[in-house]
């Protein structure tokens, strides 16, 4: 029986952040330079949010 | 009374955007094929990036056994799931026609897949709105 490919939580978050950031960057800014900068900003915020949420959950668990 | 003239508010309204053929066609084709609304307006790189991002996200969701919502009138989250999925346009139509994404969610990764497909559809809604703004000249 074929098992579906799996993703870790972190790799899923990375892919999600990458694709969402590309779309946000293109659609929310006008010039190519601003689009790139905003895309990078969104990506960093997504990944930063993952780490912050992860540490918060670690603190709550203690 | 000294500031009476300054208190008067000017009620100027922005002129309505022109309704052109492109303003109708670009969002429609952009919904059906993600990024195509940009491509037909010669925004090649933007269109291709949107196409790759949204299609890849939807396909990853399908491959890891995510659930594709059908039209339903039940639970509010199921209705919202359908609204998100249907944003993917042609991808949603194909997945329904082929019977993909109808299995039960058996593991956590499959639930990630469900969310990937919903978000791909929602991102395509944003992409469609952007294609419309380009068509009416609101965005370069």
Q: What is the pLDDT of residues B60-81, one digit of tens each?
A: 999 998 999 999 888 999 999 9
pLDDT computed for residue A6 by the predictor = 80
pLDDT range class, residue B17, cuts 50, 70, 90: confident
What does the block give as tokens for A52? 């912050």
Enter the DSSP assignment of B19. -
Residue A11 to residue A8: CA distance in whole angstroms: 5
Average pLDDT over chain B reads: 89
- Report ipTM (2 d.p.): 0.90
Q: Determine, for residues A26 and B110 on separate chains, whether the beta-carbon distance falls below 8 Å.
A: no
Q: Which two tokens stand for residue A50?
A: 């993952």
Tell if the CB–CB gap between A23 and B53 is shorter than 8 Å. yes
Tell me the pTM. 0.89
How far apart are the C-alpha atoms of B92 and B58, rounded to whole Å? Answer: 9
Position B1 confidence tier, pLDDT thresholds 50, 70, 90: very low
Confidence (pLDDT) at A7: 85
Q: Which pLDDT score is estimated for B18?
A: 73
pLDDT 10s digits, B77-132: 999 999 999 999 999 999 999 999 887 777 777 889 999 999 999 999 999 999 99
Average pLDDT of A20-43? 97
Distance CA A24, CA B60 (A): 19
Give all strands (DSSP E) within B2-139, no chain letters: none
Return the pLDDT at A22.
98
Tell me the chain B residues in contact with residue A12 when contact means C-beta distances shorter than 8 Å.
109, 112, 116
**B100 touching chain A per CB within 8 A:** no
Of chain A residues 26-55, which have a CB less than 8 A from chain B? 26-27, 30-31, 35
Q: Could B126 and A23 be called an inter-chain contact, meaning their C-beta atoms sit closer than 8 Å? A: yes
Q: Is B64 on the interface with A (CB under 8 A)?
A: yes
Is residue A21 within 8 A of residue A50, CB to CB? The reply is no
Q: How far is B5 from chain A (nearest CA, A)?
A: 37
Residue B4: per-residue pLDDT: 52
A11-36 mean pLDDT: 96
């Amino acid at each position: 029986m074929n098992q579906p490919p799996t993703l870790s939580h972190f790799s899923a978050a990375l892919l999600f952040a990458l694709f969402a950031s590309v779309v946000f960057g293109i659609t929310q800014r006008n010039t190519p330079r601003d689009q790139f900068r905003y895309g990078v900003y969104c990506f960093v915020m997504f990944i930063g949010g993952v780490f912050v949420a992860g540490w918060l959950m670690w603190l709550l668990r203690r | 009374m000294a500031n009476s003239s300054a208190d008067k508010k000017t009620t100027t309204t922005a002129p309505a955007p022109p309704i052109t053929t492109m303003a109708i066609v670009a969002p429609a084709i952009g919904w059906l094929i993600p990024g195509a609304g940009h491509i037909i307006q010669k925004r090649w790189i933007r269109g291709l990036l949107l196409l790759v991002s949204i299609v890849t996200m939807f396909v990853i969701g399908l491959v890891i056994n995510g659930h594709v919502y059908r039209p339903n009138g039940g639970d509010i989250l199921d209705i919202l799931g359908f609204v998100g999925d249907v944003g993917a346009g042609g991808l949603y139509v194909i997945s329904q026609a082929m019977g993909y994404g109808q299995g039960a969610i058996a593991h956590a990764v499959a639930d990630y897949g469900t969310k990937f497909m919903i978000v791909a559809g929602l991102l395509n809604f944003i992409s469609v709105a952007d294609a419309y703004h380009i068509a009416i000249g609101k965005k370069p």
